[in-house]
Amino acid sequence: MQGKGAGMRENAVVIPVDVLRRVFVMLLVLIALVVGILVLRTQLFRAGLSTLFAPSAAEVIDGNAYQAVFLINGSSYFGKVREQGEDWFLLSDVFYLASTEQSGTQLIKRGSEPQGPREPMIVPKQQVLFIENLRDDSEIVVAIKRFKSGVVPAVTAPPATPARTSPLPTAPPTVSPSPTR
């Protein structure tokens, strides 16, 4: 006569431990894969699918050409731009436009200012409004080439506004006390 325990052994299914390990490892891999796909999907929706295939600034900036760099504060600089990490642009051979009543608009080589800046000019990417690659026949590039050849260029001034027929009053403004004082 067999005992209760012997009958249970006959009907029991035996699974080797190494098979259980493989199943457990496969489950962990499957869970990691699902979590990875969910994280990737979330990031793509957050950043936009187009950013996955969009070229970086370094791929679009023509290293053989000059660029115009327009900053959010209204300043504009012309020179050679290259990307420096994720947060910075470096500008070398930098010029800017200055306008005076006597000489009109002039192209100025950066470096002669009182603070004595040296190249490269380091610009945070957050300060850049946009960058343009310049054609070799643009007025700015032609003026830069003339400057480098020893001819001091004067860039064409923008069209003058029509002169007023009646002069503006030249009396100093009057200061009136504030009604709240």
Q: Which long-range contacts (CB under 8 A, 24 or more apart) does 110-119 make?
A: 110/77, 110/79, 119/91, 119/92, 119/93, 119/94
Round to whole Å and give the CA distance between 32 and 42: 15
Quick one: pLDDT at residue 82? Answer: 93
pTM exceeds 0.75 for this model: no
Which tokens hold the place of 144? 């830069």
Round to whole Å and give the CA distance between 61 and 74: 21
CATH number at residue 124: 2.30.30.100
Q: What is the CA radius of gyration of the chain?
A: 35
What is the pLDDT confidence band of residue 117, given thresholds at 50, 70 and 90?
Answer: very high
Range of the domain at 66: 57-148
Whether residue 178 has pLDDT greater than 60: no
- Residue 109 and residue 144 share a domain: yes
- Residue 136 and residue 80 share a domain: yes
Rounded to 5°, angle at Cα 86 from 136 and 132: 20
146 burial class (0-12, 13-18, 19+ CB within 10 angstroms)?
Answer: middle
- pLDDT single digits (tens) 153-164: 555 544 444 444
- Residue 92 and residue 117 share a domain: yes
Q: Could you tell me which residue, 35 or 152, shows the higher pLDDT?
A: 35
Mean pLDDT of the residues in the chain? 80
Q: Does the CA dihedral 62-98-153-115 come out positive or negative?
A: negative
In a domain, 177, yes or no: no
Question: What percentage of the chain exceeds 70 in pLDDT?
Answer: 74
Quick one: pLDDT at residue 163? Answer: 44
Quick one: pLDDT at residue 132? Answer: 95
- pLDDT single digits (tens) 73-91: 999 999 999 998 889 999 9
The HSE-up count of residue 11 (CA atoms within 13 Å, CB side) is: 5
- Residue 25 and residue 42 share a domain: yes
Output DSSP code: residue 120: S
- Residue 63 and residue 38 share a domain: no
- Residue 141 and residue 73 share a domain: yes
- Residue 141 and residue 61 share a domain: yes
In a domain, 114, yes or no: yes
- Residue 65 and residue 43 share a domain: no
Whether residue 180 has pLDDT greater than 60: no
Q: Beta strand 121-124 with 88-100: parallel, antiparallel or unpaired?
A: antiparallel
Q: Contact at 8 Å (CB) between 134 and 65? A: yes
Round to whole Å and give the CA distance between 143 and 149: 10
Number of domains making up the chain: 2
What is the pLDDT confidence band of residue 4, given thresholds at 50, 70 and 90?
Answer: low
- Residue 93 and residue 25 share a domain: no
- Residue 144 and residue 63 share a domain: yes
In a domain, 138, yes or no: yes
- Residue 29 and residue 95 share a domain: no
In a domain, 4, yes or no: no
In a domain, 163, yes or no: no
Rounded to 5°, angle at Cα 60 from 54 and 61: 150
